[in-house]
Amino acid sequence: MTGTTTASSGRHAAQHPAGDTVEVLTGGNTGAEWLSRYSDALMGVFGTPQRVLVRGSGCNVWDADGKQYLDLLGGIAVNALGHAHPFVTSVISSQLATLGHISNFFTSPTQVALAERLLELSRAPGGSRVFFTNSGAEALEGAFKLARRNSTPERHRIIALDGAFHGRTMGALALTSKKAYREPFEPLPGGVEHLPFDDIDALTAAMDDTVAALVLEPIQGEAGVRPLSPEYLRAARALTREHGALLILDEVQTGVARTGRWFAHQWVDGVVPDAMTLAKGLGGGFPIGALVTFGERVSTLISAGQHGTTFGGNPVATAAGLATLHVLGASGALRHATDVGAYLRRGLADVDGVVAVRGEGLLIGFDLDGDHAPAAVQAALAEGFIINATGPATIRLAPPLILSEEQAATFIDALPAILTTARTSATEATA
Ligand SMILES: *Cc1c(COP(=O)(O)O)cnc(C)c1O
């Protein structure tokens, strides 16, 4: 039977993924050789990659030279169930071997079932709908078009916040605040203003009937894990409702159990958005994004023929999403993320040289007592830990939600020495 063959070859691939694939398709090489080939073949937008990774299992990954790392970044909040999760891997493999791509002239059971599950987990009212995408930026593009459909000549303003990151495509970039990302690509789609972060007075002053949409991250991820206050989110909900503007929550990073709730805004009672964007963790490592629209009016703003995508919502990506949500729900991952996150934050707060700790669940940011966060990333790699610097003095952790307390403890124990090394090498670099 086809199904049997598929399942067993899927298991085989999961057991020997990188070694075999790398040797068969590429010839095999050391990390240094790959990096030199990388710089001759890949566009330099990401700088020099830190390592060449060849294999992953659970919360661990291995590089081309055989060194093991505890992955505390999870592919930037993507690998919610770690690497090579057996159930997710087998669901993806068997869906691919059954029906892989069909175009949106057709639908498939996994697409319908994932949309239904997302509406259920979002506690979305009747009339709510889902549009599937391939990435976070593409979900934001959909949200931007939704904002335009809520616009009139009198209602044309879109508000986002200082520090916001919403992606790199032109519409998403117009919502993103960082000048270094925006300026090389201007002119960007117009009408977007950025307000001071978490400032209710500034929001109150800016809001009137000329605003089409307000776009917020409940916790700003790229800005160093900065949570909006519950009061701000409630004010944002009340003011957008009063003035007929859409409240669009970008949960690309914070969604899908990352913060210990299915979606971060569910920490704040009474805040139901008009639209929500998802991506990163949704496919457990497989690329998929979504725009969820709440209620009938918002869900029909974009009508037939006004938007689309070729790959979005394909059977394999939506199967990956279903499998990921199933395991997260069935394994108590929300509670686990809450508990291990609290444990990590407590441990981090006690480390010398850590001056502030922020976040919810397993989306964590912490500030150092100097500008040695990039040096700390390097020192952590040398000690076998993958972490991320969002700024000169800020580290972000977004590990798999299956991270154990014991694994978290190994990092807390190693951090003092990592920070000492980082401080020294940062000082030497500037001397
Ligand atoms: C990562 C991210 C995006 C962009 O997602 P891509 O998949 O990289 O396009 C948008 N918004 C937020 C909040 C993000 O963290």
272-290 pLDDT, tens digit each: 999 999 999 999 999 999 9
Q: Is 281 in the pocket of ligand 1 (CB under 6 A)?
A: no
- Which CATH code fits 17-84+332-430? 3.90.1150.10
Report in angstroms the alpha-carbon separations of 160 from 198, 211, 235, 246: 11, 11, 15, 12
- Closest atom of ligand 1 relative to the 221 alpha carbon: 15
Is 263:107 a contact under the CB 8 Å cutoff? Answer: no
Would you say residue 294 has pLDDT above 80? yes
Cα-to-centroid distance, 171 and ligand 1 (Å): 12
Report in angstroms the alpha-carbon separations of 372 from 16, 272, 423, 425: 38, 39, 6, 8
Residue 366's closest CA among 383, 341, 403? 341
Q: What is the predicted pLDDT for the residue at 191?
A: 96
Residue 250 assigned to a binding site: yes
How far apart (Å, rounded) are the C-alpha atoms in residues 184 and 206?
Answer: 28
Model confidence band, residue 430 (pLDDT cutoffs 50, 70, 90): confident
Cα-to-centroid distance, 379 and ligand 1 (Å): 27
Would you say residue 23 has pLDDT above 70? no
DSSP H/E element including 161: strand 157-161
Would you say residue 190 has pLDDT above 70? yes
**Tell me, what DSSP letter sits at residue 64?**
T
Q: Is 254 in the pocket of ligand 1 (CB under 6 A)?
A: no
Would you say residue 61 has pLDDT above 60? yes
Is 88:327 a contact under the CB 8 Å cutoff? Answer: yes
Q: What is the predicted pLDDT for the residue at 431?
A: 74
Is 165:197 a contact under the CB 8 Å cutoff? Answer: no
Model confidence band, residue 14 (pLDDT cutoffs 50, 70, 90): very low
Q: pLDDT per residue over 223-250, tens digit each?
A: 999 999 999 999 999 999 999 999 999 9
Would you say residue 20 has pLDDT above 70? no
User: CATH 3.40.640.10 spans which residues of the chain?
Assistant: 89-330
Range 259-279 average pLDDT: 97
Model confidence band, residue 6 (pLDDT cutoffs 50, 70, 90): very low
Q: Is 252 in the pocket of ligand 1 (CB under 6 A)?
A: yes
Residue 309 assigned to a binding site: yes
Q: pLDDT per residue over 24-47, tens digit each?
A: 566 678 999 999 999 999 999 999
How far apart (Å, rounded) are the C-alpha atoms in residues 306 and 299?
Answer: 13
**Tell me, what DSSP letter sits at residue 186?**
P
- Closest residue by Cα to atom 15, ligand 1, is 253
Q: What is the predicted pLDDT for the residue at 429?
A: 85
For every residue of 94-137, DSSP letters joined together read HHHHH-----TTS--HHHHHHHHHHHHHTTPPTT-EEEEESSHH
Would you say residue 119 has pLDDT above 80? yes
Q: What is the predicted pLDDT for the residue at 29?
A: 81
Would you say residue 178 has pLDDT above 70? yes
Range 76-87 average pLDDT: 98
Tell which one of 46, 138, 166 to mutate to probe ligand 1, the residue whose CB is within 8 A of the most ligand atoms: 166
Is 370:412 a contact under the CB 8 Å cutoff? Answer: no
Range 46-51 average pLDDT: 96
Report in angstroms the alpha-carbon separations of 243 from 212, 213, 238: 9, 10, 9
Q: Residue 244 corresponds to which amino acid?
A: G
Would you say residue 7 has pLDDT above 50? no
Range 355-372 average pLDDT: 98
Is 34:40 a contact under the CB 8 Å cutoff? Answer: no
Q: For residue 214, what are the β-bridge partners?
A: 159, 247
Would you say residue 11 has pLDDT above 90? no
Q: Residue 408 corresponds to which amino acid?
A: A
How far apart (Å, rounded) are the C-alpha atoms in residues 148 and 134?
Answer: 21
Cα dihedral sign, 341-347-350-354: negative
Range 252-258 average pLDDT: 98
Rounded to the nearest 10 degrees, the angle between the axes of helix 2-15 and helix 17-26 is: 90
Q: What is the predicted pLDDT for the residue at 8?
A: 34
Q: What is the predicted pLDDT for the residue at 24?
A: 56
Cα dihedral sign, 286-84-11-65: positive
Percent of the chain with pLDDT over 70: 94
Neighbouring C-beta atoms of residue 342, cutoff 10 Å: 14
Q: Is 140 in the pocket of ligand 1 (CB under 6 A)?
A: yes
Would you say residue 19 has pLDDT above 60? no
- Closest atom of ligand 1 relative to the 251 alpha carbon: 13
Q: Is 250 in the pocket of ligand 1 (CB under 6 A)?
A: yes
Q: What is the predicted pLDDT for the residue at 4?
A: 36
Of residues 309 and 27, more confidently modeled: 309
Range 203-211 average pLDDT: 98
User: CATH 3.90.1150.10 spans which residues of the chain?
Assistant: 17-84+332-430
Range 153-158 average pLDDT: 97
Q: What is the predicted pLDDT for the residue at 13?
A: 41
Q: What is the predicted pLDDT for the residue at 21?
A: 60
Fold of the 89-330 domain: Aspartate Aminotransferase; domain 2 (3.40.640)
User: Mean of the per-residue pLDDT values for the chain?
Assistant: 94
Residue 40 assigned to a binding site: no
